[in-house]
Amino acid sequence: MSNEINCIALIGKQNNPLYLKNFSNTHPDLKYHYIAHTSIDVIEERVASGPKNLDLYLGLLYAMEDLAVYGYMTNTRVKFVVVVSVTEGIIRDADMKTIFKKIHSAYLSQVCNPFYNLDSQRSIDSKAFIQAIETIGVNANSKATMEI
Amino acid sequence: MTSAPSAKQFKALGEEVWKSKVEKINAELFTLTYGSLVVQLVKDYEDYSEVNKQLEQMGYNIGQRLIEDFLARSGIGRCVEFRDTAEAVSKLGFKMFLNITPNVANWSSDMKEFSLIFDENPLTEFVELPEDALEGGLWYSNIYCGVLRGALEMVQMQVETTFVSDVLRGDDATEIRVKLIRYLEEEVPAGED
């Protein structure tokens, strides 16, 4: 087992937490909340410094002890953060991009639900969405390497 | 079409009309429009049974007009029996306007009632009903009931249409029950406003 997704987090355009899923049992949820929150600053820095940044995928935001944090921001300023535990060398950008695309799809399906209130600051509690995120994490982790 | 067309003929005609004579729009736009309509009604009325009624009424108005378009495009003549009506509704009507063909089933013994069973519903893409809508008894696609009632009334059939079950509410299937009350003869239909 090389790299594993430990956490997927979604942050709204007002930097409110939309959803967080902890896949690992090494760290408590709270730690990932902190990580996601820190990521917001890093993302804003990245975006401010490079206005010609046309890509939604932001790449590696920062790394800590055993974790690497990747970011992705939509044009509507919704941010996705994926925390990966790094045990072996290489995590391919292409793989991360695929994961982010899937998260983006799940988010799109959620947004298209007319009963979902975009402006509410509450987190997402739709069963379909929770299931979709669960599937993304589980599928990514069930492969021996990070090939999707 | 001379004598009672068979289900197969309806199906073939439906395909043909859908392919050649119908202008299409984007599915997401349609779904989102209907969705925001329902949500707005929910906000305005705050009572789900009232929302159901409004959706049905809107559908009724649509159905009264839609039937003319339907008849013009499909060119079919009068249905001889209620059975033909059912087939025409499912294989021509729904096909032409939504590109779906619900199944006709559960005929009553006197052949005056049948069910339409939908295995897909374009109105409900991405929709998840919130808790209070489920408890309040919202039939999200209730506009279909109104459309059927309005359209059939214009061809001299008074029907009652109700939802029996809906996948959105966790049931196994989406089913509408259509019941023929009576054929309307030359009299003026009871004032419906």
Question: What's the mean per-residue pLDDT of chain A?
Answer: 86
In chain A, alpha helices (H) = 29-49, 93-111, 127-142
Each residue's pLDDT tens digit, B18-58: 988 888 899 999 999 999 999 999 999 999 999 999 999 99
**DSSP three-state, residue B12:** helix
**DSSP three-state, residue B163:** strand
Each residue's pLDDT tens digit, B113-142: 999 999 999 999 899 999 899 999 999 999
pLDDT value, residue A147: 47
Lowest mean pLDDT among A52-66, B71-85, B103-117, B151-165: A52-66
Q: Which of B41, B51, B128, B140 is the best residue to mutate to test the A interface, defined by the most A CB atoms within 10 Å of its own CB?
A: B128
Q: Which of A115, A118, A129 is the best residue to mutate to test the B interface, defined by the most B CB atoms within 10 Å of its own CB?
A: A115
Residue B140 per-residue DSSP state: T
A70 C-beta neighbours (distance < 10 Å), count = 24
ipTM of the complex: 0.78
Distance of alpha carbon A14 from its chain centroid, rounded? 16
Stated pTM of the model:
0.84
Please give the residue of chain B at the shortest CA–CA distance from A109.
B126
